[in-house]
């Protein structure tokens, strides 16, 4: 009874010493903080920034996206707005962008407008997972700052074109 209590106390003391060792090692270890304006992170390949459209291999300013709208349906916070652009057949006038409807139309489609409202996005990645054409991916951009909420309504098509140009 008494001996077991003394044994408990001794193992407790030992664990306290181990705890001090752990924090002592952390004290001597290198800081992991990156002091931002003076330093920047080098490798961002695993960073999951706001999603972006993937361009075609032969034409980087044209999205792989076929405007099927699955990503928009998969999104739990409804932050994606996709308007499909139906290419005009010969002799017809382009009908212009239409809101995604249930009835798919024939012919290859491209998005006429692809808006991500980043102020709603929680970066869950359901859209990236849902896309059958690998047309969406996480961007590597950690530096997105604004004081204006409207700036977070991202026009992904424009961003894709800008990226292809740069």
Partner 1 sequence: MNAFHLLLAHPAVRLVLWLVLMFAFIGLNVLVLVWVERKVAGYVQMRPGPLHVGPQGLLQPVADAIKLMGKQLVTPAAGDKVLFWAAPLLAFAPVTVCFLPMPFDPRFNPLPMNLGLVLILAFSGLGVVSLCLAGWGSNSKWGLLGAARAVAQSVAYEVPLLLSVMAVAICAGSLDLYAIAGHQGTWPWQWYGMRNPLAFFIFLVCAVAETNRAPFDLPEAESELTAGFHTEYSGMGFGIFFMAEYANMVIVSGVAAVLFLGGFQGPFLQGVWWFILKIYCILFFIIWLRWTFPRVRFDQLLNISWKWLTPLALLDLALAVVVAGLRA
- Among 48, 62, 59, residue whose Cα is nearest residue 127: 48
In angstroms, give the least distance from the CB of 35 to partner 1: 7
Residue choice 1, 22, 93, 132 for contact with partner 1 (CB under 8 A)? 22
Measured torsion, CA atoms of residues 68, 73, 76, 82, in degrees rounded to the nearest 10? 50
In angstroms, give the least distance from the CB of 1 to partner 1: 13
Report the residue number, 23 or 146, with the smaller CB distance to partner 1: 23
Is 124 a binding residue for partner 1 by CB under 8 A? The answer is no
Q: Please name the residue that has the structure tokens 């359901």.
A: 126
Residue choice 10, 20, 123, 158 for contact with partner 1 (CB under 8 A)? 20
End-to-end Cα, the chain, rounded Å = 76
Total of chain residues touching partner 1, rule CB under 8 A: 15
CA atoms within 13 A on the CB side of 12: 6
Give, in order, the Cα–Cα distances in Å from 79 to each of 82, 103, 115, 121: 10, 22, 8, 6
Of 13-21, 53-61, 69-77, 90-98, the segment contacting partner 1 by CB under 8 A is: 13-21
Residue choice 1, 2, 3, 31 for contact with partner 1 (CB under 8 A)? 31
Residues that bind partner 1 (CB under 8 A): 9, 16, 19-20, 22-24, 26-27, 29-33, 35
């Amino acid at each position: 009874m008494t001996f077991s209590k003394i044994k408990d106390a001794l193992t407790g003391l030992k664990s306290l010493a181990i705890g001090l060792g752990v924090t002592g090692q952390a004290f001597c270890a290198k800081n992991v903080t990156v002091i931002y304006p003076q330093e920047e992170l080098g490798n961002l390949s695993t960073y999951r920034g706001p999603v972006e459209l993937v361009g075609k291999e032969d034409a980087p300013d044209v999205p792989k996206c076929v405007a099927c709208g699955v990503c928009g349906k998969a999104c739990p916070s409804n932050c994606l707005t996709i308007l499909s652009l139906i290419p005009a057949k010969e002799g017809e006038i382009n009908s212009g962008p239409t809101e995604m409807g249930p009835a798919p139309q024939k012919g290859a489609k491209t998005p006429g407008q692809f808006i991500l409202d980043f102020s709603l996005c929680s970066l869950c990645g359901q859209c990236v997972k849902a896309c059958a054409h690998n047309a969406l991916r996480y961007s590597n951009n950690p530096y997105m700052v604004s004081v204006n909420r409207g700036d977070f309504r991202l026009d992904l098509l424009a961003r894709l074109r800008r990226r292809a140009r740069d």
